[in-house]
Amino acid sequence: MQVNVFVSEVIQDGQPSTMLVLPVGPDAKIPKHLQNIEWRYLATTEADDRIIGMERGEVEVAISTDGYLVTKPRLPHE
């Protein structure tokens, strides 16, 4: 499954950005409760891409259940 990955701005205290993963397609949309966050497009990739840091099945289940996934980006040393 291909997904679009978006990141929020970096939090000032050094915490990683929040990442939003949406399916590729015309039905994908940012949920209302997340629309107040400024999202920047990062990449279109596969659901098991290392930056997402989750197994493909976990990503696909979240997207099929909720229509999106919110997570933290995987840091290079992890």
What pLDDT, on the 0 to 100 scale, is given for residue 29?
Answer: 93
Let me know: does 4 contact 21? Beta carbons within 8 Å.
Answer: yes
Q: Whole-model pTM? A: 0.85
Put the strands of the sheet holding 69-71 in their side by side order. 40-46, 2-7, 19-23, 69-71
pLDDT tens per residue across span 13-67? 666 688 999 999 988 999 999 999 889 999 999 999 988 989 999 999 999 999 9
Query: Does the pLDDT of residue 9 top 70, yes or no?
Result: yes
User: Is residue 20 helix, strand or coil?
Assistant: strand
User: Is residue 34 helix, strand or coil?
Assistant: helix
Q: What share of the chain is helix, strand, coil (3-state, %, to 5)?
A: 20, 25, 55
